[in-house]
Structure formats: structure tokens, C-alpha cells
Amino acid sequence: MDIYTSIYYASNIMYDIIEVGDNMLDSFVKLRSKYPEFVYEDFTVEEADSKYVVTYYFHIGEIELKPKITILKEDISNDNVDYDYLCYLFFQYGLFDLMSYYKLTCSPRLVIKPMYINEEQCSFFKKVLFNGLGEYFYKNGIDIDYDNFLDIVVESDKKYTLPKFGNYSGNLIPIGGGKDSIVSMELLKNYKSDNKFFMLERNLYPKNEAGYQSIYTGGYDDSDIVVFKNELDLELLELNKKGFLNGHIPISACISMASFILAYLNNKKYIVLSNEASANEGNMEGINVNHQYSKSYEYEKDFQDYSIKYLNPNIFYFSLLRGWNEYQIVQEFLKHKEYLSVFRSCNRGTKQNIWCNHCSKCLYVYIMLYPYLDDEEMKLVFENDMLNDKTLEDVFLDLILPDRLKPFECVGTRLEINYALQEALRNKKEYPYLLQLYKDKYSINNISKGIVENYWNSDNSIPEEYLLLFGDKNER
């Protein structure tokens, strides 16, 4: 365990340790029985000369959790901030942030006390929780249907009426340091004076060096960056040690609301995501699990509808890359090789700003770049020749074979991966171990070039003015 997750969190309250049974389903049943309610009790906003600090108050039985968010006023350019409306947005963020703590017990009842939300809003959040926790359910062996999963109860009649909104302009672009957000940044380079970049900072992680270095490489500086600081309550880690449930949450859903707050605080019209068509593919046929659910077009549309009706109709959330697949994004990225030494997409290596060279995400990116870069260029990115690493054979097969569980990572479709491997067979003279294995046993030779290279996904919400960036491709 690293230094960030081993931080001791002092508490005057002792909790019973939940005994983990033969499978996590046993713990799930016990926890839901012992902790039937998760309560969003309240939130407070402290405004100082230099910042806003928001504290959330959640509790599960005797367990109290108090995460915080901080926004520095130096990252705010809106001179007419409506304080009551901002507080309403902070309340809304709590509805997303609670997912990190709700998963501890997956209580069958969620009680919302600070403000009123209607039945349609409750349905939106129930859907986000159920689909966003799909991987969590799968990995913990939990089989539960939508109807029996959760009841959301609102115990407040404090309603908020949205004010009249002014005009907004320009782009807020969330940057993670991977190839996708870099491609969005480059596509929008002609809008440079209108671009701001959103960065999420969390107390369990160091500064996102890959994100910052990508922005600097693109010709921007710190004045173009706005930061949303999320301080996780470290009691969460202690509870995980005691046997409370853990697992993947839809972090991109939290980012959607966090970026919405900063878009308002900076008068930005567009929140420009970098989620591609490939994010719509689930992890295995026949099961409702998609690691990338909150990056899918389904979530994008749901959040658009929600934000237009309940947040601010003049701020529009969309993905610029939704028309493209991952293969096409890689091809666009390769036009900008100045980013090869700074971009990072490995979740395991995030804290050290490295590629771990051992996970499915690293191998996936390696495969997608390999046919088009020489050895020296590949070394700018990766330390190891991963296609010669025999220990990665199982990971490799998970990426390419349709009858295996697709890795729980943000990777492209199997069609694209197989096409890239076909390109490697055509472009390379010598074949490393995994590529030779692919050629001998698994090669798919009939993938149409047009299906992959000329792909266009018409299920997108790209504004007309930005569709022009893609030329005639959007007509396919």
C-alpha cells in the first residue's frame, strides 16, 4: 500500500468489522440489512476571500463521512456569481459525490435531506447509480435487479427555482493527460483564446503531471487552467479495511457535475468531453456491465437532458470525439508526436506519472501505436517491449477474443484492436511473441478497412459549428 492510501484517519467512533463470507454477496446482504439507509444529511458552504470550501455530511447508521471540495477564486472569471444558485449547484454535486461512499454498504434506501428533487431527478440518479455500479456488482458477485436495488426518498420541501441566465461563450475542456483529451485540445486550437482546461485534483493522488504537461505542450499556461479540488474522507479507507464493500464508481459522472460548476463560474458555453464511440461497448455480451458507462453516449444524453432542465440550459455538455472510434483518435493523435513523451493513460501508474507496462490499458495503447511508430518512438512512451512479454498473454487474449471478459479499463473495441494488429502484421518485418501468436492462432484477415478507418458515429451531440472540424466525415 502506498503513502497516500496508508494515511491514518483518527476517529472516536469504533465500528463493527463486517466478516467477509465465502463471497462478497454474503457481505452485500449483511451490509444492506445492517445499514438500511444512506443519508445525504446536509452541506455547508464557507466563502473566504480566496476560495469556496464546501463540506458534505453523509451518514450510514453511526458512520459519519465528511468529504470536501475547494474552488479557488483565482479560478473564477464570472463577475456576477449568483451565490444562491452556486449553492444549489454545490448541493447537486453532493448527489454525485455520494457514490464514493454509498458503495460501502449499497443501502437499499437513499435519503436526501438538504433540498428537494422531484421524481424525475430521483430516477436519473437511480439510473446513474445502478448502471455506474455495474462493474462493482459484477466483481463482487452481486446479482440484483433495478426495481429492488434502491428507493430514493426526499425529506425536504426546500425547492429552488432556477434564475434567468446570461450568455456564455467558449469551451471548458476536461484534461486527464491521455491521448483523447489531447486530440480534443488540438482540434480546438483555433479557439485558443476561448479555451479553459478543467483539472480534477484529489487528496489521494499527487498533481496530475501528465495533464498539466499536455496543456503546456499545447501552448497554454496555468492561467488557462481551472481546478476542482475533491478531498475524500479518509475514513472510507479505514472502512474498506474492515470489510465494507469497495469497487469502481462512475467517476466521469462526478466530473460532469464538477465541470458544470466551473463552466458556470467561468461563463463557458460548452463543456467539451473527449469520449469516443468505442466507450459505448460493454465488457461482455449478455451482461449489462460497461466500465465506461459514464463515458457512454447514453449517459451523455441523460446528463444533457438533466442539465438543460435542472441546472442551466445555456451550458451544453457533449463529447467532441463521439463521432470517431478509438482507432481514428489514435491516428489523429499521431499527427502530434510532440505529446509522445508527456501523455499517460495508465491508471495503475497515475500516482507515479508512469506507464506500468503490465496492465491491459498499457498493452492496449501499445498495440494501437505499435504499427505506426518506430522503435525509438515507442521507447519515448514505454520502457518495455510489451508484445514480447509472455506474461501478458492472458491480458492480450482478453483484449482480442470476443468470448472472454473485456478488461475493465477504458479500451477500444475488439474490432479496432484486431485491425491494429492486422496493420502491425502488414507494417512490421519482424514479429514479437504476442504478434506471432496472433498471426498463428487468432488472426482475423477479413476486417474491412472502410469499417474502421472511415467510421462515423451519427449518434452524437456535436454542435454544428464543431462538426465542421471533421470535414466530410460527418456525412458518412
User: How confident is the model at residue 206, as a pLDDT?
Assistant: 74
Average pLDDT score over the chain:
88
Whether 14 has a pLDDT exceeding 60, the answer reads no
Q: Which of 174, 232, 213 is closest to 55 using CA atoms?
A: 232
Least confident of 69-73, 93-97, 291-295, 329-333: 291-295
For the packed helices 393-400 and 360-369, what is the interaxial angle rounded to 10 degrees?
Answer: 70
Cα separation, 280 vs 360, whole angstroms? 18
User: How confident is the model at residue 79, as a pLDDT?
Assistant: 93
pLDDT tens digits for range 69-78: 999 999 999 9
Least confident of 301-305, 321-325, 416-420, 471-475: 471-475
Residue 316, strand partner residues: 270
Least confident of 11-20, 100-109, 152-161, 428-437: 11-20
Averaged pLDDT for residues 179-193: 96
* C-alpha cell at position 178: 491521455
pLDDT class for 389, splitting at 50, 70, 90? very high
User: How confident is the model at residue 141, as a pLDDT?
Assistant: 80
User: How confident is the model at residue 443, as a pLDDT?
Assistant: 84
Instruction: Output the 3-class SS for 355-403.
Output: CCCCCHHHHHHHHHHHHHCCHHHHHHHCCCCHHHCHHHHHHHHHHHCCC
Q: Between 320 and 361, whose confidence is greater?
A: 320
Least confident of 5-14, 45-54, 285-294: 5-14
Whether 312 has a pLDDT exceeding 90, the answer reads yes
Any idea where the domains of the chain sit in the sequence?
A: 24-158+168-319, 347-445
Residue 72, strand partner residues: 51
pLDDT class for 476, splitting at 50, 70, 90? very low
